[in-house]
Structure 1
Amino acid sequence: MKNTKKHSNKLLRFWKLLGPGLVTGASDDDPSGIATYSQAGAAFGLSTLWTSIVAFPLMAAIQQMCARIGLVTNHGLTGTLKEHYPRPILYLMLLFSFPAIVMNIGADIAGMGAVGNLLFPAIDATYFSVVFTIILLGLIIYLPYLKIASILKYLCIVMLVYFIVPFLYKQDLMKIFKATFIPTIKFNKEFIAILVGILGTTISPYLFFWQASVEVEEMQHKKKHLMVNKKIIHDMKEDVDFGMAFSGFVMYFIILTTGTVLFKGGIHQIETVEQAAMALKPLAGNLAYLLFAIGVIGTGLIAIPVLSGCLSYIFTETFGWEEGLDKKFHEAKAFYVIIAISLILGLSLNYIGISPIKALIYTAILYGLTAPVLIAIILHISNNKKIMGEYVNGRISNVLGFSAVIIMTAASVILVYLQLSGN
């Protein structure tokens, strides 16, 4: 009895420790990410399963750097860039980030609306999209940061459904094992494009900005921003590692599901999350279809506040406006207006002839092309003793960070070459 109580207390303490890292990891597997992973599984079977193993240490190392920058400088990534780097670099990041993030928001809203329509066919998808947008906007504006963080953290539990879905279908364990640990690379533009897309949607620039800013928010709420120490850094690492591992597992199981069920069923082209959900229904049964659909809505509710919040942090830190999810609307009007604009713009993409869903892979590829530049800047900041003091990068962090730059740059260069050569 005592042992049970002791274990439950440990779990409770660990759950309380989890925060920005878990939410960041969960938001990485948003509806647009699910569409990318589903397309990878449907088009290439289990051939991209190994990418989840490669991506995990890279994304964990980079998110740790971003979190450490926030904790040590008490500024988000944008604020640190503004203070220590030429303005053109900052404006370039704004230029790349804004359209990609708005398109990502639009795609997620559309995906949630479409899946809502699958669950309740009598109600049009556009109505669901509008309702989800209004709910999210209301929650972000009227709830304080602690409540938002708590809601997002508990919503992460919804994502456990993706760990169930593959086991509702008969699996070849030996084939899965080989695909997981023996990388397959096909040098054609379709495969390299999906590879860049996977890297871009797992190691996404918007997550870098969000992680640093939300760590500052968390510390300010706890009133610890002047007391950064090794214990706080250690707790942050555990939080980030768990969040990124969680994200990696979800990615792995989505590719596993679509790579076995859809690929074997002859369905090789998936452009939307609702197509992935619908395709599962006749092949893997109603339960798999329902769980997959519910998971999409849950992940959208986690990711959209992160995407819109990230964009708002970038703008407000760039122009020196009041910011923070913990502030009331009248205290940080610009911050919340930018969030509202990003949600409305994202929603409007569905009504002005632009299909954000079809552009999902291109958004992920855009992230994949721009991320190496930003990672290089993050590495420079993280190794700068004038900025980071005693909390500069260790050897392992640098090895993983530079590996991410090299891998993502190489994949992007090969993709551009194949596109230009027509192969």
Structure 2
Amino acid sequence: MPPALEASTAHSCAASPPAPEREPGLLKKIARSLGPGLITGAADDDPSGIATYSQVGAQFGFGLAWVLLFSYPLMAVTQAIAGRIGCVTGDGIARNLRLHYPRWLLRVAVLTLLVANIVNLGADLGAMGAAAQLLVGGPALAYTAAFAALCVLLEVFLSYARYAAVLKWLTLALFAYVLVAFLAGVPWGEAMRGTFIPRLSLSNADEVMAVLAVLGTTISPYLFFWQAAQEVEEQERRQTQPLYVTPKRGDGEIDRVAVDTWVGMGLSNLISWFIILAAAATLHARGVTNIETSAQAAEALRPVAGEFAFVVFALGIVGAGLLAAPVLAGSAAYAVCETFGWTEGLDRKLKDARAFYGVIAVSTFLGFALNFVGLDPIKALYWSAVLNGLLAAPIMAAMLMIASNRKIMREFALGLRMRVAGWLAAAAMAAASAAFLILSALGTG
């Protein structure tokens, strides 16, 4: 190459600007946004929820599949509000209640949450043990104890970043129910009609109770506490400050919380929908209309949908339980520690947050212990649903007051659309709770 041309080429190469970084695509942007909302949504499909959805599908076929479409915006808006509170204030739900509202409201809310979570933990751990027994034989209580210990050890000894990654991977276990639905040979025309054409006989108490059970299962207070607390954990992990301190990051962070929440809740309800479809296409179609536990639902599938579908369903119960049990125990720990001002957080060392990890261990142990006292799974689920249902509407109302208060939320206070949507969700849960209690008092539950 001639020297002049070589020099010209070298100058051209030296002067050329570096190639700009490619803007990440939409799917990559969504994937980067997923975190607390994804885990929270997946944890909503716990073994107790699997039992509820299986029963709804077995008893009513595809007729009540529409409830999950109806509940989706209610739960997504509520969880988005919870996430926003944590992101903006840098505090969880319980601490915001302690700082801004009467102490009696905080104590009642946290005590009720603690009781409901322990009962739910007992039912979930028992379901995991029963599923393992179905898969490999042996004593169910031994498996239950092993799962309880594993959940506590993971929460105590894994760093938050690694633990969050474990929970993210566990969400994949829920896709077992998508596979089961396809293996079951769902008549999709009938399924679509049940999903998009709502029908409900108000004179049929069983149908009304089933709708209330689904709402109580999908919109649960422990998910509010967990979502807000996880946003605070994310700030500590990334070493960023709450939005009220650094408002310039506001638009991007609020958008991230919204995407994370709506995708996470969408995944939750999609999986729940597939569980109903699978039960409707197999159990209801064969006249099996009474399912009391998630393990019983798995066992009932074996003669109808085959051995493979049974194994996939049972493995899904174990995976869902490993995801949900730590969330139940963790949300209780966050609420208790925020109430008393104790150090909390999954990224803390054991020596720095003994009370936090102590609440996780004790609540998990108490849930496990319920399986030794002849825990009736139906009664456990019933009372857990009652407590969660009674607690949901007041906590949702308190969250809306916090999120609408400009002294607390500054420029990130809820706009009109979010306020209206939030209050509609709270009103729906209040009506559901009232109807649940009335029907129970009449002896129809």
Same fold, judged at TM 0.5 (above): yes
In the alignment, structure 1 residue 168 sits paired with structure 2 residue 183: yes
| Alpha-carbon distance, 1:161 to partner | 1.4
- Matching residue within 106, 110, 125 for 2:140: 125
Match of 2:118 in 1: 102
Q: Distance in 2 between matches of 1:277 and 1:7?
A: 45
- Structure 1, residues 5-51: CA drift from partner, whole Å, max 9, x if none? x8997645533321101000000001111111111111221122001
- Matching residue within 210, 224, 227 for 2:226: 210
* 1:5-404 alignment, distance < 5 Å: 11-121=27-137, 123-187=138-202, 188-226=204-242, 227=246, 228-356=249-377, 358-404=379-425
| Alpha-carbon distance, 1:124 to partner | 1.1
CA 1:417–1:10: 2 relative to 1, 3 Å = closer
Contact 2:30/2:259 (8 A) holds in 1: no
CA 1:280–1:8: 2 relative to 1, 3 Å = farther
- Structure 1, residues 112-160: CA drift from partner, whole Å, max 9, x if none? 0000001101x21111111111111111111111110000001111111
Contact 1:385/1:392 (8 A) holds in 2: yes
Q: Distance in 1 between matches of 2:195 and 2:340?
A: 45
CA 1:364–1:176: 2 relative to 1, 3 Å = same
Contact 1:23/1:153 (8 A) holds in 2: yes
Q: Distance in 1 between matches of 2:221 and 2:393?
A: 9
Contact 2:60/2:284 (8 A) holds in 1: yes
State the one-letter code of the partner of 1:54. Answer: F
| Alpha-carbon distance, 1:361 to partner | 3.3
Q: Distance in 1 between matches of 2:56 and 2:387?
A: 17
| Alpha-carbon distance, 1:409 to partner | 2.0
Q: Distance in 1 between matches of 2:339 and 2:176?
A: 39
CA 1:105–1:176: 2 relative to 1, 3 Å = same
| Alpha-carbon distance, 1:370 to partner | 2.1
CA 1:148–1:422: 2 relative to 1, 3 Å = closer
Q: Distance in 1 between matches of 2:400 and 2:32?
A: 30
| Alpha-carbon distance, 1:399 to partner | 2.6
Q: Distance in 2 between matches of 1:393 and 1:44?
A: 38
- Per the alignment, in what secondary structure is the counterpart of residue 268 of structure 1? coil
Q: Distance in 2 between matches of 1:124 and 1:8?
A: 50
Q: Distance in 2 between matches of 1:27 and 1:400?
A: 23
Range 249-258 or range 189-198, more displaced: 189-198
Q: Distance in 2 between matches of 1:185 and 1:44?
A: 11
Q: Distance in 2 between matches of 1:220 and 1:98?
A: 25
Contact 1:196/1:365 (8 A) holds in 2: no
Q: Distance in 2 between matches of 1:151 and 1:367?
A: 27
State the one-letter code of the partner of 2:310. Answer: Y
Q: Distance in 2 between matches of 1:197 and 1:347?
A: 24
CA 1:225–1:356: 2 relative to 1, 3 Å = farther
| Alpha-carbon distance, 1:422 to partner | 4.8
Q: Distance in 1 between matches of 2:257 and 2:238?
A: 14
- Per the alignment, in what secondary structure is the counterpart of residue 283 of structure 2? helix
| Alpha-carbon distance, 1:207 to partner | 0.4
State the one-letter code of the partner of 1:353. Answer: G
Q: Distance in 1 between matches of 2:209 and 2:387?
A: 11
Q: Distance in 2 between matches of 1:236 and 1:255?
A: 29
- Structure 1, residues 194-238: CA drift from partner, whole Å, max 9, x if none? 222211110100000111111001111101124341101111111
Unaligned runs of 5+ in 2: 1-21
| Alpha-carbon distance, 1:328 to partner | 0.6
Q: If the length of structure 1 is used for normalisation, what is the TM-score?
A: 0.95
Unaligned runs of 5+ in 1: 1-5
| Alpha-carbon distance, 1:259 to partner | 1.7
State the one-letter code of the partner of 1:51. Answer: V
The percent of aligned pairs where both chains have the same amino acid is 42
- Structure 1, residues 43-63: CA drift from partner, whole Å, max 9, x if none? 221122001101111111110
Q: Distance in 1 between matches of 2:382 and 2:291?
A: 11
Contact 1:200/1:369 (8 A) holds in 2: no
| Alpha-carbon distance, 1:242 to partner | 0.8
Q: Distance in 2 between matches of 1:9 and 1:382?
A: 32
- How well do the aligned residues superpose, as a CA RMSD in angstroms? 1.7
Contact 2:33/2:256 (8 A) holds in 1: yes
| Alpha-carbon distance, 1:416 to partner | 2.8
| Alpha-carbon distance, 1:351 to partner | 0.5
Q: Which has the larger radius of gyration?
A: 2
